[in-house]
């Protein structure tokens, strides 16, 4: 039997939303083992002087806990 946990993270990119997701998953995988999925719960952008300067995503990352 597997037990999973879900944690929420926020990540950003100057390129696009897809890159923000990749950046977030890559960073989360440095701390969390056994990541199995990520669900994008929200998207937003940072605007400066009428231009989009940053893409942000809020994700729920699922990872399976290790057996003892």
Cα–Cα dist 43/21, whole Å? 10
Cα–Cα dist 33/56, whole Å? 23
Q: How distant is the alpha carbon of residue 62 from its chain centre?
A: 10
**How buried is residue 24: exposed, middle or buried, by Cβ count under 10 Å (0-12/13-18/19+)?**
buried
Q: What confidence score (pLDDT) does residue 21 get? A: 98
Per-residue pLDDT tens, the chain, 68 aa: give them: 789 999 999 999 999 999 999 999 999 999 999 999 999 999 999 999 999 999 999 999 999 998 87
């Amino acid at each position: 039997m597997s037990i999973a946990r879900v944690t929420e993270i926020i990540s950003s990119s100057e390129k696009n939303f897809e890159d923000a997701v990749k950046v977030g998953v890559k960073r989360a995988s440095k701390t969390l083992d056994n990541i199995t999925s990520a669900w994008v719960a929200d998207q937003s952008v940072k605007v400066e002087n009428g231009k989009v300067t940053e893409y942000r995503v809020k994700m729920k990352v699922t990872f399976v806990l290790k057996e003892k």
